[in-house]
Structure formats: C-alpha cells, structure tokens
Chains A and B, each alone.
Chain A
C-alpha cells in the first residue's frame, strides 16, 4: 500500500539532513567558530552569527525531553497508529528533534528516559529517525 502520511519537504537548509537520514545517519550543524551544535539547520549561527558551518554525525543517542500521547488523528493516515507518542528528544550532542518513541507502550515513556535512534524507511527517498528506549 502506498505511503499516505505527510512526507518531509526538502529545502536548501534541510537537504543535508534528509540525505543523511537516507543513509541512516543523523547529521546536524556545528558552528565553525563558536562550536554551537544546532538544529534546525540555518546558514548563519544563531549564537555568534558566523557563516562557517560544518555538518557532524550524531551518535543517535539521547534522552526524552518531553512527550505526548496522541489519542486523536488530526490526519486520517495516523488513525491506525492511535495511541502514538510524539516526543522531543534531546540528542547527546545538544539539539532537540521532534520525533516518535517506538518499541515500548506509550505508558512506559518518561521524560529524561535514555533513547536511541531506530530508522523507519518510509519510502525510497525518506527514512525517518524515530527513537526507542535503550535497554
């Protein structure tokens, strides 16, 4: 069956990130001057305004900063997933990502719980970085 959920929209800022995901690597930006590791991607550092930017690979490990359990499908394609967890995960490198927690019951998710990336290859073009508890 065709994938019917909303797909990411690639733009000049996010291209590197989504291409990394296709290779199962989370890439985030690091400022070439002040060293701030940042997300979302931008051509200028929000902390020191430098334009020197490197892309670094995240270890894919982090912790749950906060999360919710969706009991309503605002988009019909998510109906089959209810109840599902949307979380903000803090990567060990610093940036926060909005994502899903999978691999455990919604009632088992806790803030600050250690998690690691697990890849959901949704189409030939896109893999979504989701996270599961570290056992």
Chain B
C-alpha cells in the first residue's frame, strides 16, 4: 500500500498528495469554482443512493440509513469530500455473461441487449488536465452511445453511473446532458434519483452504499433491473417508478481520464 501511494503518483507524494480521493477532490474543487456545485448538491447523491441500499439486502450499508444532517456531520477526508462522498472498500465479486441474442433466448432469464456503447479517454495527467470540471470523457462517450442506440436522455428510464465519488455521478449526468452545468442541485432536489423518484440513479446503492466492484457495480445492476431480478428495490410498481426498458450505465477510470458509456435495452 505504501509503495502504491508513493511510487505510482510520481513526485506528488513529496507534497503529501496521495490516492484517488485527493485526485477527485481536486477535480471537484475546480468544478465548485467553475459552476454551482458542492456538498449541497452531493448530499442528494449520497443520501439518495443510501435509500436504494436500504432496500438491498446485499448492500454493505443496507441497515444504515443516512440523513442530510448525518452527511453534513460526517468527517472530512480530503475537503471538499466528506466520508460519505467516497465509495466503499470491500471484498466481493460480480460477473456478467455476454452471449448472442440467439443463444440468450434459450436461457431462463429475460434478455437484455447492449443497444449502444461509447468510449472517450482524455488521458491527460491529473496535474495538466483542464477538463476536471467538464466536459469530461463522458460527453463524447455519451454522444456516441446514445447515437448508436438511437435514444436521447428523454428515453432513459434509470441510470447506473460509476460512482467512485459523489461528484463523479454529478459530472457524468451533466456531461450526458441530463442537466446543464450548475443545475445539478436543483435537478437532484426532491428525491429525483431515489425510490419513487422520476429518474432513479444507482438503484443498488451503487459503489457509495452497496459495494465497490469497479465498473461491474453499475453494469450488473442495470442488467438485473431490466431482467426484473431486483426484489424489493425493483424498478416498477415495487418502488413506484417507471418499469424500465432502457438504462444508461457508465464506467470511468483514472482521475476522469477514461470513460465508457453503455445503453442497455430490454429485448
């Protein structure tokens, strides 16, 4: 661990800069300077996803509800991020089986297809990056995936977004075009992404509140929701949300250096 922190980051360790929390916090702070965002926006993401985790018996945070007050009272790790702005550290595993539609038709589970995919990798070192407040790779990756699927944000029933940190969810949805720069706080307010909300996001609790399985946390949840295998947290009548046909999923790497977007569609 010590070697990872001091040798991968080059000479940044000499200045006490270590790890992903600090890297994304640098991005989030620049965003706070460029448009209206910050903890008042991110609390909706942390608390909203926790409400989904409370419906998911496999979630690490299943039996730990969280209020806005508890979010604000949580300790700072690397300001502007508090503890609940960070994803979990956990053991576990996820798998996703991809095969042909023809083969999948003979299997017992409902069929989910990849309707579109896009990838964009700005790949600039954190120190020199000037896209930390967007547009990140999500903009181009999203445009590619949405065009391939022939859909717009208005067709999306739910989002499963790579959420290493709360800010990552905001900047990804912003770059996909769900809202304009700085409109996030208003867009998230009123339980938008929660159970019974009009645009459910990270319906397992995500990496903030279910479990960190890298890009497979959002991807497998999107597939499971479209298959109807999510029990108490199932989108549709069980959570007073729209029965999903189309879900957008994302993955992201480095400090916003690479981005993948997938549009999943029930067959």
B27 interfacial by beta-carbon distance below 8 Å: yes
Pick from A40, A67, A126: contact of B29, CB below 8 A: A67
Interface of chain A residues 100 through 119 with chain B (CB within 8 A): 100, 106, 110-112
Size of chain B's interface in residues, with CB distance under 8 A? Answer: 33
Interface of chain A residues 50 through 83 with chain B (CB within 8 A): 65-72, 74-75, 78, 81, 83
Pick from A5, A8, A65, A68: contact of B78, CB below 8 A: A68
A44 interfacial by beta-carbon distance below 8 Å: no
Please indicate the chain A residues that have their CB under 8 angstroms from the CB of B77 in the complex.
71-72
Q: How far is the CA of A75 from the CA of B12 in the complex (A)?
A: 12
B71 interfacial by beta-carbon distance below 8 Å: no
Given contacts A66-B33, A71-B79, A83-B79, contact A100 B16 (CB under 8 A): yes
In the complex, the answer to whether A111 meets B128 with C-beta atoms within 8 Å is: no
B127 interfacial by beta-carbon distance below 8 Å: yes
Pick from A9, A68, A75, A83: contact of B26, CB below 8 A: A68
Q: How far is the CA of A25 from the CA of B5 in the complex (A)?
A: 27
In the complex, the answer to whether A86 meets B22 with C-beta atoms within 8 Å is: yes
Size of chain A's interface in residues, with CB distance under 8 A? Answer: 37
Pick from A75, A95, A130: contact of B128, CB below 8 A: A95
In the complex, the answer to whether A86 meets B79 with C-beta atoms within 8 Å is: no
Instruction: Among A6, A40, A75, A84, find the residue whose CB has the most chain B CB atoms closer than 10 A.
Output: A6
Please indicate the chain A residues that have their CB under 8 angstroms from the CB of B6 in the complex.
6, 75
Least CB distance, B19 to chain A, in whole angstroms: 6
In the complex, the answer to whether A40 meets B125 with C-beta atoms within 8 Å is: yes
A residues whose Cβ falls under 8 Å from a Cβ of B: 5-9, 14, 39-40, 65-72, 74-75, 78, 81, 83-84, 86, 88, 95-100, 106, 110-112, 126, 128, 130
CB-defined A-B contacts under 8 Å, sample of 26: A6-B14, A40-B10, A65-B30, A66-B26, A66-B30, A67-B29, A68-B22, A68-B25, A68-B78, A69-B76, A70-B79, A71-B76, A72-B76, A72-B77, A75-B5, A75-B6, A83-B76, A86-B15, A86-B26, A96-B127, A98-B11, A98-B12, A98-B126, A111-B30, A126-B14, A128-B14
B residues whose Cβ falls under 8 Å from a Cβ of A: 2, 5-7, 10-19, 22, 25-27, 29-30, 32-33, 75-80, 125-128, 132
